[in-house]
A and B are shown apart, each in its own frame.
Chain A
């Protein structure tokens, strides 16, 4: 079966691409883990004063803040990965609407990634574990 792009489809795709956040245009394919963005920081990860004093949440957000270059290389499996502005699991921990404040999958993936990183596992090994447990 061959597919031809109509002019309208082409224009729509080009417009959609241009309006994607810059980071989200990086190497990314549906279902695959993203490549960590060079120079990524945890500057947007919520701090404890914005987590309503919930100790469990503070621990995981703090853990994520320590390894943004790892968390940014993981695709979240909770279904948020297709949302606007989403790049990686790190996105779940950023901003006032951080999904990880309420989503157990985002939290569980973050906790697993933090533990495995502390155990010396590589990003690929962490991705494989996330996929095995949450995929």
Chain B
């Protein structure tokens, strides 16, 4: 009985210690959503702790080493939908992350479907892995190893690992949930000049002009508004005859598709769109329009 009580007490003490343990490389999780794709990385974050040279050093990462960009158990990379990393297809799933670090030339990025591997036991090269070369860049000194996505686009971003004075960038692309382009034949029924009225609480306000044109394989809208945010936008088809405005950034890239807040529903006569109503997220009509040209 005494032995059993002692064992229970030890178990409790151990559990408490684990919960509050101070680690040289504390755990972190980083998650980014992009157009419905969830990208997560879980890793322990080593600190430089006064080591000026981290790569090519016996005190940290040796040249030629297959290294997990983290510490303790291998860093994991998880995506809920297929993506591409630097153009290489990555299926939905969880992978352990490794890098073959070299003094000259490129490093090799390795995603291995086997996870929960301790950093001292890197996997051998095998057919299940996704492997590709990555370039390293000089960067301002960063004490704690950091995975991040410092640049985001509507359909991807830059996945970055940085530690010490070394940074590795990878271009990550997600599968877009929408298509910006359409054929001219599909676009033609909507192209033209329209007149629309804004409707507020059922009351019709002044009428304005709305132009829809077809440019670079994209259906685009321009309407009267004082807001530069909404002056010129892509009409993103979300369902037959339903479109949501896709708002452009200063580089001409769509960075937000404005749904469910504003959906334009077109009505056709003899195959040609002749009127539309725009509805908000409460299905209230906020605009009515008709073709004038």
Contacts and interface: CB of A to CB of B under 8 A. Distances in A.
Contact of A132 (B113, B239, B282): B239
Contacts of B287: none
B242 interface: yes
B259 interface: yes
Interface in A1-28: 1
Contact of B281 (A1, A104, A115, A128): A104
B283 interface: yes
A111 B242 CA distance: 17
Interface of B is mostly: loop
A129 B283 contact: no
A108 B283 CA distance: 6
Interface string B226-239: 00000000000011
- Please classify how large the interface on chain A is, using the bins under 10, 10 to 19, 20 to 34, 35 or more: 10 to 19
A107 B282 contact: yes
Nearest to B128: A1
Interface in A72-128: 104-105, 107-108, 111-112, 115, 128
Given A1-B113, A133-B259, A112 B283 contact: yes
Interface in B164-199: 177
Nearest to A129: B239
Contacts of A112: 283
B263 interface: yes
Interface of A is mostly: helix
B282 A133 contact: no
B113 A133 contact: no
A134 B239 contact: no
B94 to A, nearest CB: 10
B87 interface: no
A134 B128 CA distance: 37
A111 B238 contact: no
B239 A108 contact: no
Highest count of chain B CB atoms <10 Å: which of A104, A107, A133, A135: A133
Nearest to A132: B239
Contacts of B238: 132-133
Contacts of B260: 105, 108, 133-134
B76 to A, nearest CB: 15
A54 to B, nearest CB: 13
Given A1-B113, A134-B260, A108 B242 contact: no
B96 to A, nearest CB: 13
A108 B263 contact: no
A132 B179 CA distance: 13
Interface string B42-71: 000000000000000000000000000000
Interface string B113-141: 10000000000000010000000000000
B229 to A, nearest CB: 21
Contacts of A115: 283
A135 B242 CA distance: 14
Contacts of B242: 129, 132-133
B263 A111 contact: no
Contacts of B263: 133
Given A1-B113, A133-B263, A105 B239 contact: no
B113 A105 contact: no
Contacts of B281: 104-105, 108
Contacts of A111: 282-283
7 contacts: A1-B128, A104-B282, A108-B283, A129-B242, A132-B239, A132-B242, A133-B260
Interface of A: 1, 56, 104-105, 107-108, 111-112, 115, 128-129, 132-135
Given A105-B281, A133-B242, 20 more contacts: A1-B113, A1-B128, A104-B281, A105-B260, A107-B282, A108-B281, A108-B282, A111-B282, A111-B283, A112-B283, A115-B283, A129-B239, A132-B238, A132-B239, A132-B242, A133-B260, A133-B263, A134-B259, A134-B260, A135-B177
